Each structure stands twice: as structure tokens, then as C-alpha cells.
Amino acid sequence: MKFKMVSLGCPKNLVDSEYLAHVLAEKGYELSDDGELVIVNTCAFIEDAAKESIETIIQAASAEEGAKRRLVVTGCLVERYGKELPELLPEVDLFVGRGCYGEFERLIEGKGCFTSEKLFCETYPRRVLTQPPSTYLKIQEGCRNRCTYCTIPGIRGPLVSRGSDEVRAEFEALLSRGFKEFTIVGQDTTSFGKERDGDTGDDIKGLLRKLLAVKGDYLLRLLYMHPRGLDEELIDLIASEERVIKYFDVPIQHSEDRVLSLMGRGYTKQDLESLVTKIRGRVPDAVLRTTVIVGFPGETEEEFARLCDFLGTWRFDNLGAFIYSKEEGTPAARLKGHLRKGVKRARFQKVMELQKEISKERLKRLKGTRAKVIVESQEGERKIGRIVQQAPDVDGLAFIQGECRVGEIREGIIAETLDYDVIIRLGGSNGTDT
């Protein structure tokens, strides 16, 4: 039997989909774009994500009318809404919560809704769904932070870190299969190992050192680094290791102390200014990415203006903005001063317009420099990828001039820079593979 996998949401969800794809392959199923079994792995951390998940499920069900297909829904939507879903979506044959992934092979041919309070943290072995040479390494499940707006701890549970030896074994196995760019993900990668008792040295720095002890030609990138967890030792480690991409993904969410306190972020504007100063002082060529939330309950016009001033002063290379979403069960939902949708939308647009100019200006410094580029796709003569300073799916693209093949990592000169993208010309007649 063939199966189709639809994975929504973040890279952590994608790794879960890859684990489930392996389970099905071991059971004799074949991955296909048009399978008799359709699995939708959902996202539900905010209202818009839950709506997208439901729309995707309905579209999948409509496409199956008259066909003998089974529709299975799994992931965060099931974990969050559980028993409500069978009545809401009767066209779905089976709902499986994340806590039941360990029983997926047994459940897949049944019906109903299965959820569990158990936390599932396995990620390997898995059927990698990304295009070589790039893949993800998920190092943890859940979260120990308690940001007042966030549903993740309620959906994915408390922080549980994988064993560093287990992560290294998965890393070595993927490396042996030809993968070369590894993006390390978790809800807060700087919190890796912090839920364990005792000081074992098994933290994110220890994990990085354990991975870097593996010989080979590869690149590591860290995503989702909480400002409180990004200390000088970690900055120095990233700065000193050639195989760690000089990329700092540090979600600040806001700049103003009162709003940060209401968000439960645990740091101040001064802390953020000190952190960015340290990163740029220690790693002058670092790429900084962040996320911000606009329209948080009670955010005043003055506070929003100061957030824009902060972004204009510190000039992050890449930025993602979210419109605050009132999520049931979160402390922030009970706050006073919720803003109108129109106000929140206008603030979002202003931040994105501001960041467009910042990103364009920051990219200009790369013009004429050498960079490694990952070749991801080709349409006719057009070849597209990413320079290593661009993270997959969230940053810009690289348009590649010169002979190359999909899956290669090459080296060239950045000939032009655009708003978010670059044009790179491969060096020499063949470029340089890495």
C-alpha cells in the first residue's frame, strides 16, 4: 500500500513526520504523492495554524471522495483538541495524538481517536523527507519556559532532552548517508539537558562538542536560542568552530521591559542590547535572526514605536513577525487591553516594511564575498538554493549562476544582493565542492 505524508508547521513537526514515515516503510508501505493512505501531521500552536490544519484535512478528505483511501490525522491539533475532533471532522478515519507515536504501527489500521499523556521523544530511525544534503536534528521535546502567550508546553509537554550519545549516533548515521548540512532544532535549544538532575556537562555546549568530535565535512546550525540561554561560552564555541555556521537565531519577541515582563520572557531590553553587542563583537560576520510579536495585550503606540526603534538600531539580518493570537488557556488570554485586529495588522505591516529595508541593507555587505551555496532545485536552466548564511524555509534564496547539480554544496562569489535573496556566481569552471 502507498501512503502520502502531509507535514504542516515547524521543522520539529517535520522530524516527527519522518519518524512516522519510517514506521510505515518498515510495515511495508511505500511513500508516494498519491497514496491509498493519507496522513496529515498538523500544527496548532496558534489559531491560524489550527485553521490551516483543518482546511488541509478537509481538502484531503474532498480529494478522497469516491476513492478507497484512509485519512489519518496526527500531530499537535490532535494533542490540543483531542476528543472534540471526531465530531468536528467525521470524514477522518483515525486521529493519533503525539503521545501515541510509539504505538503508531499498531493503531494505523484502526479507527477512532487515540491520545495519551505520555511524552514521545524518539526521532530515529526516520525516513528523511528533506532534499539532500540538508536535514534536521531534533534534540529535545517540550519546553521548560512558561511564556504567557504560548501553548507549546500544553501541547508538547515539559522539556525532555534526548541523550547526547543518542543524538550523536543519529548524526553519524545521517552523515554516513551523505547529509552534510544539519540544522539543530528544539523548542529552545539552549535549554538542552537543563531538566536533568546534577551538573553532568550534558548541555547544548557539551552536545555540540560531542558532535564536532566526529570527523567529516559537514556544517551545523543552531536554531531557536533563547536569549537567557545564549551565554558567552556558547557564543565563543560558535565563533571558534569552522563547522558551526555563524548564525544566531535569537527570538526576542519584544524590546520593551513592561511587555517582556507580561510575556514572561525573563530578560530586559538592556539584556538584549548587551547580548547583541557581545555577538557582534565576538563574531563580526554573524548573521542574526529574530522573531517579534506585535499587538500583545496592552501594547501601547509608544511601546510599539520603541520596538521599531530598537529593530532599526540593532538591525537584525532576518526577522519573522507574528500578530499576537489570543489562545485559550494561556495567561496572556486573561490580560486586559486586547487590541483590535486592524491595529495589530497595521503594526505587523509596519514591522515587515521596516525589516525589508534592513534585510536589503544588511545583505549588501555580502556582495563580492565568497560563500558556500547549497543547490536545492533546478527548473530548466534556473538553479536555486541557499547560501549557508540563509536557514532553510525561513530566510531568502540564492539564484545560482554556473554549472552545478541539485544536492551539491558549492562555493562562489555573491555577485548581487536583492531584498532578501542573492545571486551567486560559482567560482572557476566547476566551482568548489565541499
Of 343, 364, 385, which closes a domain? Answer: 364
Query: Which range marks the domain in which residue 28 is found?
Result: 2-114
Do the strands 422-426 and 398-401 form a parallel or antiparallel pair, or are they unpaired?
parallel
Per DSSP, the residues of 82-136 read: GGGHHHH-TT-SEEE-GGGGGGHHHHTTS-EEE--SS------S----SPTTEEE
> What are 309's three cell numbers?
526603534
pLDDT for 429 beyond 60? no
Q: What is the mean pLDDT of residues 235-243?
A: 96
Contact 160, 141 (CB under 8 A): yes
Do 269 and 397 fall into the same domain? Answer: no
Q: Is residue 91 predicted with pLDDT exceeding 70?
A: yes
Amino acid letter, residue 44 = A
Query: Has residue 67 been placed in a domain?
Result: yes
Same domain for 374 and 357: no
**Same-domain pairing of 184 and 285:** yes
Residue 382 lies in a domain: yes
Query: What average pLDDT does the segment 107-123 reach?
Result: 86
Q: Supply the pLDDT for residue 365.
A: 93
Inform me whether the pLDDT recorded for 63 exceeds 80: no
Instruction: Measure the CA angle with vertex 13, ends 10 and 16; round to 5°.
Output: 155
Residue 122 lies in a domain: no
Do 182 and 325 share a domain, yes or no?
A: yes
What does the pLDDT look like over 351-399, one tens digit per residue? 999 999 999 999 999 999 999 999 999 988 899 999 999 999 999 999 9
Is residue 424's pLDDT more than 70?
yes
Does pLDDT of 431 surpass 60? no
pLDDT at 66: 52
Residues 315-353: tens digit of each pLDDT: 999 999 999 999 999 999 999 999 999 999 999 999 999
**If we measure between CA atoms, which residue out of 268, 262, 338, 343 comes closest to residue 310?**
268
Find the mean pLDDT for residues 250-262.
98
Query: CA-to-CA distance for 228 and 275, rounded, in angstroms?
Result: 9
Residues 248 and 179 in one domain: yes
Does 65 have pLDDT greater than 60? Answer: no
Q: Residues 279, 285, 290, 294: is their CA dihedral positive or negative?
A: positive
Q: Are residues 96 and 11 in the same domain?
A: yes
In a domain, residue 434? The reply is no
User: What was the pLDDT predicted at 315?
Assistant: 97
389 and 328 housed in the same domain: no
- Are both 382 and 356 inside the same structural domain? no
Q: How far apart are the first and last CA of the chain?
A: 39
323 and 383 share one domain: no
Bridge partners, 182 (sequence order): 135, 220
Whether residues 377 and 360 fall in one domain: no
Same-domain check for residues 151 and 279:
yes
pLDDT at 434: 44
Asked whether residue 124 is domain-assigned, the answer is: no
252 and 152 in a common domain: yes
Domain count, the chain: 3
123 occurs within a structural domain: no
Which CATH number characterizes residue 375's domain?
2.40.50.140
